[in-house]
Amino acid sequence: MNMNSVEKLLQAVKGITNENYDYDKVCEVRNEILKDNWKEKTLSDIASNIGKFEELERLLKNDKESNEEKCNKNVNIIEALDKKTEKIIGLNIDEISYCGDNLFLPKFGTLYVIGDTHGDAESVKRIIKRLDFSKKIYVVFLGDFVNNGLNGIDNLITVLKLEEQFPKNVVLLSGNHEFRETYYTVLNEFFITHWDNFMKNPTDKVPPNHYGHIRLELVTRFGFKQGEYIYDLFVKWGRRLPYVAFSAKGIMMSHSIGLAKNKNCISFDELAKAKKDPIDLEYIKNRGYEDWRKNCDTLHARMVNNNEITKSLLNIFQNCLGVNVFVVGHRHYRSGDIHKEGNMIWTDVKSQGRFVTISSSHEDSKDAGHYIEHEYEYTRSRKTDEQRQGRAKACYTIFREETVDKIDEYDNIRDV
């Protein structure tokens, strides 16, 4: 968005409070701004972005080839695991193995898990600087690479380049943001959800200019046609990504954890096929992202969107798959909390436990925008409420031992 547009929006929203908030007025300005920004740009307009356009196009296309190659060749791992009683701890592999929508990591080597980064390329680069690829390490990103933060394009380029450079060490999982969203939901999030959140908990930052969306970002930086072309590549890439990683150390890593209603067991095979489920694909295509996120009861939809992780849900995964500890993203404002049991009412926050929620975007990063600050602040502002206590800061996790049976605040959690 250029300065002129930002100024126009600021003018329009100036003086708006909870009492006189007028959605139609904001929409009117929104439409004017979009009209200005979304007209076809000439090549000279996008000259400064042309290197990035080509780079992102190449990375998203290359990943297609390598992903298709990687998957499907290890299906026998899943058959063997589903038959074993010890499950994941008994897995004996010496390299990353992709099986359908799952992937498996060896027991030996240090494992780094990075949570939601939401367009925050700066925080991602800060973490990458601390990784020593001359040692045997594995790096797992838990998805949600774009939206809300301000630099989704650079964030995608950064993680895709890292994966390209170190394919034997780096894995990218999908979250609930690696999907096609209609302009309706994009704008709804941009102008309504964030605005409402801001009004409930105002800070000195101006909200509409401090949230990004990858579809708007691509169109604004590359022009409408080129932006939509990359968006299409991005959406296809998101659908191909695996979404659950298991380490033979005994760790399960995923954007969130969930099961369809009335389900009380799970297998590696079901997890491996969930993103190819035609019902899931049709639902998102016909009903749209928002409806899919809230109402679709497929395994995949629940696995990446669920916000209610309970003790009994974790017990199902522990008993059926042999997982000891769980690392998830998605719940940004609970970042850094380690739970002994795993419970939506969050009464069991401990310094040691089997379940941790991590978000890896630092609120002071220039690419983080206003979103993450707001998310973390939500937890901190409720320090008097026992159920709302927690670290609520950007972090990632490290697991060094061959077998992991708990997560420890001091051994495993690092600040970004």
- 395/404 with CB nearer Mn ion: 395
Select from 53-61, 232-240, 326-334, 386-394 the region that touches Mn ion (CB under 5 A): 326-334
- 198/243 with CB nearer Mn ion: 243
- 102/176 with CB nearer Mn ion: 176
Residue bearing tokens 């008993």: 319
Question: Are 406 and 353 in contact, with CB atoms under 8 Å apart?
Answer: yes
Cα–Cα distance between 122 and 416 in angstroms, integer? 10
Whole-number minimum distance, CB 119 to Mn ion, in Å? 13
* Pairing mode, strands 325-328 and 338-339: unpaired
Give 19-40 as a DSSP string. TT--HHHHHHHHHHHHHHHHSP
Select from 47-55, 163-171, 288-296, 324-332 the region that touches Mn ion (CB under 5 A): 324-332
Whole-number minimum distance, CB 277 to Mn ion, in Å? 19
Whole-number minimum distance, CB 243 to Mn ion, in Å? 11
The contact mask relative to Mn ion for 283-322 (x = CB under 5 A, - = no) is: ----------------------------------------
Whole-number minimum distance, CB 144 to Mn ion, in Å? 4
Number of residue whose CB is nearest Mn ion = 330
Cα–Cα distance between 277 and 221 in angstroms, integer? 34
Whole-number minimum distance, CB 330 to Mn ion, in Å? 4
- 144/154 with CB nearer Mn ion: 144
Select from 140-148, 236-244, 264-272, 399-407 the region that touches Mn ion (CB under 5 A): 140-148
Residue bearing tokens 């992102």: 56
Residue 210 sits at φ, ψ, to 5 deg, of -115, 20
- 41/330 with CB nearer Mn ion: 330
Select from 136-144, 233-241, 352-360, 367-375 the region that touches Mn ion (CB under 5 A): 136-144
Whole-number minimum distance, CB 276 to Mn ion, in Å? 21
Whole-number minimum distance, CB 344 to Mn ion, in Å? 16
Query: 356: which residues sit within 8 A by CB, 6+ positions away?
Result: 325, 326, 327, 328, 336, 337, 338, 339, 397, 407, 412, 413
DSSP code at position 191: I
For every residue of 233-269, which 3-state class applies, written as one string? HHHHHHHHCCCEEEECCCEEEECCCCCCCCCCCCCHH
Using CB under 5 A, pick the residue from 330, 334, 354, 374 that binds Mn ion: 330
- 178/367 with CB nearer Mn ion: 178
Query: 406: which residues sit within 8 A by CB, 6+ positions away?
Result: 324, 325, 352, 353, 354
Whole-number minimum distance, CB 288 to Mn ion, in Å? 17
Whole-number minimum distance, CB 177 to Mn ion, in Å? 6
Cα–Cα distance between 209 and 211 in angstroms, integer? 6
* Total number of residues that touch Mn ion (CB under 5 A): 4
Question: Are 372 and 336 in contact, with CB atoms under 8 Å apart?
Answer: no
Cα–Cα distance between 378 and 384 in angstroms, integer? 12
Whole-number minimum distance, CB 47 to Mn ion, in Å? 34
Question: Are 326 and 357 in contact, with CB atoms under 8 Å apart?
Answer: no
- 101/144 with CB nearer Mn ion: 144
Select from 205-213, 232-240, 283-291, 330-338 the region that touches Mn ion (CB under 5 A): 330-338
- 13/394 with CB nearer Mn ion: 394
Question: Are 277 and 297 in contact, with CB atoms under 8 Å apart?
Answer: no
Query: 155: which residues sit within 8 A by CB, 6+ positions away?
Result: 117, 118, 119, 120, 121, 124, 145, 146, 149, 367
| 144 near Mn ion, rule: CB under 5 A | yes
- 169/357 with CB nearer Mn ion: 357
Residues 154-183 binding Mn ion (CB under 5 A) are 175-176
The contact mask relative to Mn ion for 373-402 (x = CB under 5 A, - = no) is: ------------------------------
- 120/144 with CB nearer Mn ion: 144
Point out which residues bind Mn ion (CB under 5 A): 144, 175-176, 330
